[in-house]
Amino acid sequence: MLRLYADVSHGGDTAGKAAPPRTARSPRRSPPEPARSSPGAARQREQHFDGFAHSADERWVDWRCSVPANAAAADESEQCPSGIITSVRSVLIRDVLVANLGPPLEAMGFVRSSRRPVWTHERLQIRTVVDAKAKDPYRGGAFTLEFEVSDDARFEEKLAGRVRLDQLLDDAQRSAFLGLRNAVAQRLPRPPVEHVTTIDASLHEQYFKPFHQADELETGHRFWMRFRTSEDLTDWCSLIAAQLPTVVSRARDLPAHEFILGEPLDWP
């Protein structure tokens, strides 16, 4: 009896050909390398993604590919896989924060020793924390900054001595962050009905909060700086950079062996 096979390595349909005899299981083929984009395709992608397109070789594109311009009529096939969204979000945060927060932090003596947006100076480390659950293409991503003090320069090994950015803000600073929070909320595109119907009705109130104006800045685990574009991230970085001297000074004096993460801290 003849076995039929298709030669997928060349992309052609060779059904009906006799397969060569084999005495052992053939090794599994490696997936083909992604094809390089043509100049025309690259230009089209750059236009669609507002200048944040990357080549197919990098295996990711701007995470806004999840929301085509004609979102209400978008086909499901146009949606990006969540893994790609996560990768794009992390790279976008890293690039924008390093470019905008790196210089002022380095001027204060901080050093970044890896590709991660993490800066260390003496007993204080400042690092980015990304909301792993913020993947919705309309609500955007979210991040915050975490500050940790350590007397032995060993970081990310304990919960003591850690605070988030919101804990280091005074009333005037919280008002400034609230203003930008509401400005970003106003920029977020409203999800189409087709998208909302995929979310359980009991979660609608919580889902729509990032789109609404807030009277007070969120605190604790509810505080996140939300973004959907590099413009949003750049605006957050500009605001953070202006507050760095104050919040860094406050963080340096925190106790290294007390659990204060999420606790309200009062500043004059």
Per residue in 108-117, pLDDT (tens digit) is 999 998 999 9
What pLDDT does 175 receive?
Answer: 98
Domain-embedded: residue 193: yes
Task: State which residues of the chain have pLDDT below 50.
Answer: 1-24, 26-85
Range of the structural domain that residue 210 is part of: 81-252
| 41 CB burial (10 A radius; 0-12, 13-18, 19+) | middle
| 249 CB burial (10 A radius; 0-12, 13-18, 19+) | exposed
Domain-embedded: residue 210: yes
Domain-embedded: residue 247: yes
Number of domain units in the chain? 1
Domain-embedded: residue 42: no
What pLDDT does 41 receive?
Answer: 37
Domain-embedded: residue 174: yes
What pLDDT does 87 receive?
Answer: 59
What pLDDT does 246 receive?
Answer: 98
* Token duo for residue 48: 């669609």
User: 224 CB contacts (<8 Å, ≥6 apart)?
Assistant: 131, 134, 142, 143, 144, 218
- Give the C-alpha separation, 268 to 257, whole Å: 24
Domain-embedded: residue 70: no
Domain-embedded: residue 189: yes
What pLDDT does 268 receive?
Answer: 84
CA-based nearest residue to 87, from 68, 114, 61, 51:
61
- Give the C-alpha separation, 146 to 254, whole Å: 13
Beta bridge partners, 125, equal 120, 148
Give φ, ψ of 58 to 5 degrees: -80, -10
Domain-embedded: residue 244: yes
- Secondary structure (DSSP) of 214-231: -SS---GGG--EEESSHH
What pLDDT does 231 receive?
Answer: 94
Q: What is the pTM of this model?
A: 0.70
Cα–chain center distance at 200: 24
